[in-house]
Chains A and B, each alone.
Chain A
Amino acid sequence: MKKAFIIYGTVICLIFAYANYNGWTVADSVKSGKWGPHGHSAYHK
């Protein structure tokens, strides 16, 4: 278990470094958002 966690953590760090170097971005993968009348319901307090 200990060895598995060390390997797992190391792989995560390596992927993170590689992703940063190549400009990978995982946030907002669909590159869109819902806008329009449904997007500002909080306006009507």
Chain B
Amino acid sequence: MAGDELKSTTEHKPASVKVFNCPSCGAGVVLRAVGQSITAVCGSCAAIIDSSNENYKVLEKASKTGKRDQVIPLGQRGKFRGVVWEVIGYVERSDGSSVYTWSEYLLFNPIKGFRWLTEFDGHWNYVITTKSRPTEDNLGRRKVTYLSKDYYLFHTGLAKVIYVIGEFYWQVKQGETVQVEDYVSPPEILSSEKSNNEIVWSLGEYVSQSEVKSAFQISKPMPLQSGVAPNQPSTVTETANYAGKYWGMFLGILFLIQLASMFLSKNETVYSGQFTYSSTDTEKLKVSPQFELSHGMSNLEVSVSAPVQNNWVEIQSDLVNDDNGESEDFEQGIEYYFGYDSDGSWTEGSQNSSLVLSSIPSGKYHLNIEASGPALPILNPAITMDVVTPESAVAKNSYWQNGKLKAVEPVLNEKIEGIAKYYFENGQLNKEIAFRNGERNGKYTIYAEDGSVQQTGVHLNGQLNGNVKWYNSKGVVTRDVYYNNGVLVPNNSANASSLTLNVVIKRDVTTWSNFLWALFLISFFPILVLWRNRSFEMSRWSQSDFSPYYQHQEEN
């Protein structure tokens, strides 16, 4: 494409139409831009004729290229962007590899001059030659600036004229090749065409197929549209712009509400107390004194701390409303571990746990707490399990086949009650086990056949609880472990004589969880739109050698 300005801007009279005979084949050649066009192509033999004067000299003889079924025929008029244009020339060009071809329609209006409509893969552009030369910037990503707008390099390559018909304002030639560079800033595309002696810049704007069809009343099917054009505007760009703008506004509002909530929250301590579990304590359920919650509906933060080390404790709590008996149950866990490995010292967990209860009404409350876990001190069964055989119990004896006594079990109300004794076949005492209510409860001793003590321990409700010790024949302890309800537990827990839970309850505290949820909810739509917009841009730039998205692939 070359310059499209009229030779005289004062010449506003309608273009006259002139017909002359082709000097090559004699067919009639129509001139629609008389005085403006300098070459015309014979529609019959495709000879290129000098139309700048009435000598009509043949510049190039007829080529072998056949006729084209162009979408907009020569001479077709159409009102486009408020101006009546007439199609006076048609050029088909291809890239250097001749794989891609595109069409260019030269439009003429006697007042406005020349414009172009270009079509590639069903995508159309309305093109005008620029009035000034864009400034180039080759630092970083290659771009040019025109009228304060940046355009990024999309394509470089050759453009070769493969077919031409009609009349033109420059001396057109079959096979003419120029170096082309396309820079894009959707919906615009800025193109330079560089030949031996000049560079021509033109600015194209993406136009919809329907707009072209309507303007030129095209009845035949339009070219099938495929892919994304270099300067095709994204359907979601506008949505992305306003979504980002309103997202920022909503984020600001959320921050203001959060700041106001932080400023207004009372953060009032309504209860603070300690609950101690000791080895002599058989009651696991602890009850706090009554406390009062005010301020209508508000949240409640329950913080519990315990000095556990390499251990854990679980706390099950009930917040009971003393006014109506309603309760809210919740669980908290405290676990804290530390140690040393090849990477140095490490810790995990915390000795504190806090939990926020949502929207608790005002009223009088108390807290029920029940702790469990290996961090609690082992209940000392020896203190509570001093079992004796009741006098009213009846001894139930059993015997070995050799007639020796096998077992003596005291029975009361059909349950073993008291100290049961079991014997070896040789009559030697084997076990002494304490029972209560038919279950093993209390101390037990296991003897070896030589009469020495082999093992001692304590049962609680049928489970091993407390120390279990093994002895050798000389009475020396060979193993000493601790059990809690039948489960072997670490020694350090059993060594602790008590564990104290510190409980602090605060009313109307500041939380960030609502803010984070609200932020997530208002961000969902903008993120979706931005993702779609990015997908569109990636699709656009996938056709380019200068994509900002695929640089790593180019390097490979």
Question: In the complex, what distance in Å separates the CA atom of A23 from the CA atom of B298?
Answer: 4
Say whether chain A's binding surface is mostly helix, strand, loop, or mixed.
Answer: helix
Contacts of A24 in B (CB 8 A): 299, 358-359, 514
Contacts of B400 in A (CB 8 A): none
B348 A42 Cβ-Cβ under 8 A:
yes
Give how many A residues have a beta carbon under 8 Å from the other chain's beta carbons.
34
Contacts of B254 in A (CB 8 A): 13, 16
Interface residues of A in 19-42 (CB under 8 A from B): 19-29, 31-36, 39-40, 42
Contacts of B477 in A (CB 8 A): none
Tell me how far the C-beta of A36 lies from the nearest C-beta in chain B, rounded to whole angstroms.
6
Q: Mark B293-314, 1 if CB is under 8 A from A, else 0.
A: 0000111100000000010101
- Does B271 count as interface, using CB distance less than 8 angstroms? no
Interface residues of B in 309-365 (CB under 8 A from A): 310, 312, 314, 328-333, 335, 337, 339, 341, 346, 348-349, 355-360
Give how many B residues have a beta carbon under 8 Å from the other chain's beta carbons.
49
- 9-residue interface stretch from B23-31, B47-55, B145-153, B238-246: B238-246
* A16 in contact with B513 given A32-B330, A39-B312, A40-B349 (CB within 8 Å): no
Question: In the complex, what distance in Å separates the CA atom of A19 from the CA atom of B59?
Answer: 83
Partner of A20, one of B239, B246, B257, B329: B257
Question: In the complex, what distance in Å separates the CA atom of A15 from the CA atom of B339?
Answer: 46
Partner of A13, one of B250, B329, B355, B508: B250
* A35 in contact with B331 given A13-B257, A25-B356 (CB within 8 Å): yes
Which residue of chain B lies nearest to A35 when distances are taken between CB atoms in the complex?
B333
Contacts of A16 in B (CB 8 A): 254, 257, 514-515, 518
B525 A8 Cβ-Cβ under 8 A:
yes
Tell me how far the C-beta of A40 lies from the nearest C-beta in chain B, rounded to whole angstroms.
5
Question: In the complex, what distance in Å separates the CA atom of A39 from the CA atom of B356?
Answer: 21
Contacts of B335 in A (CB 8 A): 35, 39-40
A27 B356 Cβ-Cβ under 8 A:
yes
Interface residues of B in 225-282 (CB under 8 A from A): 239, 242-243, 246-247, 249-250, 253-254, 257-258, 261
* A45 in contact with B341 given A35-B314, A40-B349 (CB within 8 Å): yes
B514 A13 Cβ-Cβ under 8 A:
no
A12 B312 Cβ-Cβ under 8 A:
no
B357 A25 Cβ-Cβ under 8 A:
yes
- Does B511 count as interface, using CB distance less than 8 angstroms? yes
- Does B521 count as interface, using CB distance less than 8 angstroms? yes
Question: In the complex, what distance in Å separates the CA atom of A13 from the CA atom of B522?
Answer: 9
B330 A31 Cβ-Cβ under 8 A:
yes
- Does B373 count as interface, using CB distance less than 8 angstroms? yes
Which residue of chain B lies nearest to A22 when distances are taken between CB atoms in the complex?
B297
Contacts of A5 in B (CB 8 A): 242-243, 246, 525
Contacts of A43 in B (CB 8 A): 310, 337, 339, 348
Question: In the complex, what distance in Å separates the CA atom of A12 from the CA atom of B310?
Answer: 44
Q: Which of B250, B337, B525 lies at the interface centre, i.e. has the most chain A CB atoms within 10 A of its CB? A: B250
Tell me how far the C-beta of A28 lies from the nearest C-beta in chain B, rounded to whole angstroms.
6
Partner of B514, one of A26, A29, A34: A26
Question: In the complex, what distance in Å separates the CA atom of A10 from the CA atom of B299?
Answer: 24
Tell me how far the C-beta of B18 lies from the nearest C-beta in chain A, rounded to whole angstroms.
54
Contacts of A19 in B (CB 8 A): 514
Contacts of B333 in A (CB 8 A): 33-36, 39
Partner of B250, one of A9, A27, A42, A45: A9
Tell me how far the C-beta of A25 lies from the nearest C-beta in chain B, rounded to whole angstroms.
4
Tell me how far the C-beta of A4 lies from the nearest C-beta in chain B, rounded to whole angstroms.
9
Contacts of A25 in B (CB 8 A): 299, 356-359, 511, 513-514
Contacts of B359 in A (CB 8 A): 22-25
Question: In the complex, what distance in Å separates the CA atom of A17 from the CA atom of B348?
Answer: 36
Contacts of A36 in B (CB 8 A): 312, 314, 333, 373
Interface residues of B in 509-525 (CB under 8 A from A): 511, 513-515, 517-518, 521-522, 525
Question: In the complex, what distance in Å separates the CA atom of A29 from the CA atom of B346?
Answer: 31
Interface pairs A-B: 6 shortest CB-CB:
A35-B333, A27-B513, A23-B299, A31-B330, A23-B298, A25-B358
In addition to A24-B359, A32-B330, 12 A-B residue pairs with Cβ atoms within 8 Å of each other are A2-B239, A8-B522, A16-B257, A22-B298, A23-B298, A23-B299, A23-B358, A25-B513, A27-B356, A28-B513, A32-B331, A45-B341
Between-chain CB contacts (< 8 Å), 15 pairs:
A5-B246, A9-B246, A9-B522, A12-B521, A13-B250, A16-B254, A16-B257, A23-B299, A23-B358, A25-B357, A26-B517, A27-B513, A34-B333, A45-B341, A45-B346
